[in-house]
Amino acid sequence: MAQRAVKQERAVRTREALVQAAAEVFGELGFAGASVSKIADRAGLTLGAMYFHFKSKEELAREIVVTQPARVRPEHESEGLQHAIDITLTWAYGLAEDTVLYAGARLVMEQEQFNAPEENSHRQWTDIIACDLRAAQAGREVRRAVDVEAVARLVVNACTGAQMHSSIESGRADLPQRIEEMWRVVLPSVAVPSAVARLEFGQSRGRRV
C-alpha cells in the first residue's frame, strides 16, 4: 500500500510538471505554435510518459483553461460584490507571476481550436461572477432591477479586453488599475451607494492564498 501511495504521489507531481511545462510553451508560442514533443522536452519527460497523462495538446490546453478559476483564490474571505472584485483583482495581479494563468489568458484567444463552444472560458467566468452578483442581490447590495447575467457578461468581457489591451501597452503592468477603473464605472449603475462605499480595492485585495 505504501508503494502505491508513492506511485500516486509521483503521478500527481508528473502531471503538475506537465501542466507547468505546457503553460510555459503555450505562453511563449500560443496553441498553434506548441507541440506535444516541445512540451514533453520542456518537462524533461519522454513522449510515452506524457501520453500516459495527457492524450494530446488539446487536452493540456483544456486543463489549463478549465482550472483557471481554481488558481484564482483570493487571500481574504469575502462574499457578494467584494468577492467578485477580489476575484478579478486576484486574477489581474496573478497573471504577472503565475505561468498557468498567463498561458490561460493567451489560450483564450485560440480556444475554439480545443474547447467545445459551450465550454468556453468566457461562460465559465461569467457563471462565477453572476453567482457573486446574485448573492449581492440577495444581500441587497445590488439593486433588485439589475440584470445580473448582463452585468456578469460585461465584467468578463471588459476583463478579457483589458487584459489584451494592457498586455500590448504595458506588459500587463496596469491591468489591476484597469480592472478597478472598470468597477468604478459599473458600480454606481448596479449597487446601492452604501454598499459601494464599503467596497475595498487595492493590491491587498489581489493577493492569493
| Contact mark string toward a second copy, 166..205, x via CB under 8 A | -xxx--------x--xx-xxxxxxx---------------
Buried-exposed string 138-148: b where 16+ CB fall within 10 A, e elsewhere: eeebbeeeeeb
Q: Which residues are within 8 A (CB) of 59 and not within 5 positions of it... i.e. 6 or more apart?
A: none
Q: How far is the CB of 167 from a second copy (least distance, A)?
A: 8
Binding segment (CB under 8 A) for a second copy, from list 12-20, 60-68, 115-123, 129-137: 115-123
Q: How far is the CB of 153 from a second copy (least distance, A)?
A: 7
161 binds a second copy (CB under 8 A): yes
Short-list 201, 186, 206, 187, CA closest to 95: 206
Name which position in 75, 79, 112, 200 contacts a second copy (CB under 8 A).
112
Q: Which of residues 9-38 bind a second copy (CB under 8 A)?
A: 30, 32-33
* Amino acid at the residue 174: D
Please report the DSSP string for 161-204 in residue order.
HHHHHHHHHHTTTTHHHHHHHHHHHHHHHHB-HHHHHH---SGG
Q: Which of residues 36-95 bind a second copy (CB under 8 A)?
A: none
Name the burial class of residue 3, with classes exposed (0-12), middle (13-18) and buried (19+) by CB atoms within 10 angstroms of its CB. Answer: exposed
120 binds a second copy (CB under 8 A): yes
Residues near a second copy (CB under 8 A) = 30, 32-33, 108-109, 111-112, 117-118, 120, 122-123, 147, 150-151, 153-154, 156-162, 164-165, 167-169, 178, 181-182, 184-190
